[in-house]
A and B are shown apart, each in its own frame.
Chain A
């Protein structure tokens, strides 16, 4: 903006729109290149080229890890799940279909393992709770405890409130929102990961977005 100090407002607006569109196109282009790299590496790995697994890891792991950390809020667990996801891909390499996209498949495996992991730890917690007669606060309860007005005085706390609101959403809505907004998957890819129709995924993401907007409006008002 400072580089265009004397530009008439309409020209400036047009330039901003063009820049935004170009940035968007660049982002999509970079993402496509990354996906192509992952697909090519998976194809070579399926054919038996063992060295391609390292390349496949480099192409997939950062995005999967980011997703798993965000969803589990536990870096250790995310790392274990990432390892399991990559090993599942390794075991199933012979099944890889020529021309298929590896990314939605990898995300679907990661999500399934994450759900199983949550179920398992929930059962373990229940067993411990039954054995000790104790009570452990769930993530929503823990997050709610943080929602006091005093705690929302800085950006970090606001981000925590956002996380808490995300945690309150139904899992299918939250995942649709995260896959599309955070991980940059297309609606079609997110639909494949979630085993739903693109229309349903679009609706879930929209509902999650609307719920967050309402919830965060309240938070900002309190702030």
Chain B
């Protein structure tokens, strides 16, 4: 095929297919971001909102601040692309997916260990409710994040999906932490860290198909 013919064919194909400009995409992204923040907050309010329980208020504030910082950092690292169109490196994405759950566990355990009885076992709290709440709060944010980055990663979509899932899970964990007073490590692992990892795994599975650049069949 002549190069001029090829160019005409490409320009005609592009002209026949609408694509949002940066301004239009920024508006769409802002709406998605607002919903990704608003829906979990609404759900959190529906299940009763913050619950201090036997915890001192200072401990609640301290753990909430720490988990919020972890969640925001995770979202920044996973969903942000930095200055390159190719986004974060695989190492950064995988690092985020590994470090965030560990950081959450260490922070929660460390801050709780400073207050007597806060790390005692709660036999009737296996962590199932926390697991379900984390998954519930994270469901829409993870869907919104995947939608926002749909078909955009030509290099490592699986790693991106993993990091997005873990980051959404970290955001949900920050909310659940305001509700759950238990600092017992097995409970934290089963009810808080496990859903984060599960969301990461789902993100990686979905990401391989949804986030990668793909040719139309």
Contact = CB atoms under 8 A, between A and B. Distances in A.
Interface of A: 46-48, 50, 53-54, 57-58, 61, 65, 75-76, 79, 81-84, 86-88, 90-97, 99-102, 104-105, 108-109, 111-113, 116-117, 192-195, 197
B45 interface: no
A48 B21 contact: yes
B47 interface: no
B14 A87 contact: yes
B20 interface: yes
A97 B152 CA distance: 13
Contacts, number: 113
Task: Identify whether the interface residues of A are mostly helix, strand, loop, or mixed.
Answer: helix
B85 A57 contact: no
A171 to B, nearest CB: 14
Contact of B85 (A50, A83, A91, A102): A102
Given A75-B1, A87-B10, 18 more contacts: A53-B14, A61-B6, A61-B10, A83-B10, A84-B216, A86-B14, A90-B14, A90-B19, A94-B20, A94-B21, A95-B25, A97-B81, A101-B84, A108-B154, A116-B214, A194-B155, A195-B155, A195-B156
B7 A61 contact: yes
A97 B83 contact: yes
A102 B20 CA distance: 18
Contacts of A95: 22, 25, 85, 152
A88 B216 CA distance: 10
Contacts of B19: 90-94
A112 B10 contact: no
A86 B1 CA distance: 17
Interface of B: 1, 3, 6-7, 9-11, 13-15, 17, 19-26, 81, 83-86, 89-91, 151-152, 154-156, 212-216
Contacts of B15: 50
Nearest to B214: A116
Per CB-CB distance, the 8 closest pairs between chain A and chain B, nearest first, are: A94-B25, A195-B155, A105-B85, A48-B21, A112-B154, A108-B154, A94-B20, A90-B14
B22 A96 contact: yes
